[in-house]
Amino acid sequence: MNGAADWSKVLLPNGVGRTPGGSADDPIDRQVADAMTDLVICVRGQTPNRALGYADRFMFVGEWGLALEEIVATLEGEPEIEIGDWSAAALLRARTLMSLEQE
């Protein structure tokens, strides 16, 4: 249904891979929800217990755009912590799907 977002497996330089949750065949609103959940899993998998502002609350009520902005603001506010390949791929997927959902 939607080929614009990349749902393929993310491979790290050491060969470890991770397949994101969700599917390109799901409705766009479901893809956005899956992409945001995947983003939080990746970010918190890299730095457990990381505070993400109000992102969790926004996600709980389905405000995906606000949750994404909160996560991005948190990541930009902590430049000493590098974003990993999985988190970067999840962030790109979430941003791509957000723009498609708004069309």
* Number of other residues whose CB lies within 10 A of the CB of residue 34: 19
> Residue 64 — pLDDT band, cuts 50, 70, 90?
very high
Residue ranges of the domains in the chain? 10-102
Residue 66's pLDDT is what?
A: 94
> Residue 1 — pLDDT band, cuts 50, 70, 90?
very low
Q: Decide: 89 and 34 in contact? Cβ < 8 Å.
A: no
